[in-house]
Amino acid sequence: MSAQPLVIAVPKGRIQEELAPMFRKVGINPEDAFFDDAERQLQFACKDSNISLIRVRSFDVPTFVAFGAAHIGIAGSDVLMEFDYQDLYAPLNLDIGHCRLSVAQPEDLKDTDLSQLSHLRVATKYPNITRKYFAELGIQAECIKLNGAMELAPKLGLARHIVDLVSSGKTLKANGLREVKTIADISSRLIVNRAAFKTRSAEIGGIIERFRQLLEKGA
C-alpha cells in the first residue's frame, strides 16, 4: 500500500445521506466529523483504511479528480455532462442522487411549445448543456449563468426560462414555475482519474470492485 492516502472527493449536500450507508457497506468508514454538517473541516481520515475524504462543492468534484488532486470522486451526471473532462473514467452508475435536469417556465405562461421559438434567454448553472440542448432544437439559447436560486430569475425578469435540477418539484412549485421539458435523467457516478488508475490500479480497482459488488446485490 502506498504511504499517500487515496483521496476521494465527495460532494456537499443532499447526496451525503444516500452515500453514507454505501460507504459503510464497502468498508469506507470516515471519522465522525464527516457526518457533522456544522463541521468546517474539509478533509477527513477514514478508520482502518488509507483513504482520505474531501468534501467539496458538487461542481468542483470533477475538477479535483481530473487534475489528480483527488483519485476518485462521486459526481452527478449533470456535472459530468456540463464539463466533459477527458481525464476522467466513470466506471459505475451508483444509482443514487436521482433527479432530472429540466427546462422550467412560469406557470402562467401558456405556450409550452418551445420549438416555435428561435431564441430564448435561460438562467442556469449549466450553460454548455443548455446551449447544446436548444441548438439541437434549432433554438439559440442566451444563457445567464447563476450559481443558485435560478427559480427567482423568471419572476424578476432576468430570464423567462430556467434550466435546473428538479427532484420533488417543490422548489419550482413554490416559485410559480412548471417543468416543460426534461433534458436528462440524472444520477451519481463513481469517477476516477485515468492516470491514477494506472499508477494505483490495485487500490482503485479494489474500491471500484467493492462498489460494483454492492450494486449487483442491489445496494
Q: How far apart are CA 102 and CA 79, in angstroms?
A: 14
Question: Between 14 and 98, whose beta carbon lies closer to ligand PRP?
Answer: 14
Q: State which residue, 68 or 169, has the beta carbon closest to ligand PRP.
A: 169
Give dist(CA 169, CA 175) in Å, integer: 10
Asked whether position 37 contacts ligand PRP by CB under 6 A, the answer is: no
Question: In this structure, what C-alpha cell is assigned to residue 87?
Answer: 481525464
Q: Is 168 in the site for ligand PRP (CB under 6 A)?
A: yes
Q: Which of 164, 183, 188, 193 binds ligand PRP (CB under 6 A)?
A: 164
Q: Which of 29, 160, 169, 184 binds ligand PRP (CB under 6 A)?
A: 169
Counting contacts by CB under 6 A, is residue 14 touching ligand PRP?
A: yes
How many residues sit in the footprint of ligand PRP (CB under 6 A)? Answer: 11
Backbone phi and psi for residue 82, each to the nearest 5 degrees, phi listed first: -70, -40
56 binds ligand PRP (CB under 6 A): no
CA angle (10, 15, 21) in 5-degree steps: 85
Q: How many H helices and E strands in the chain?
A: 7, 12
List residues near ligand PRP by CB under 6 A: 13-14, 148, 164-171
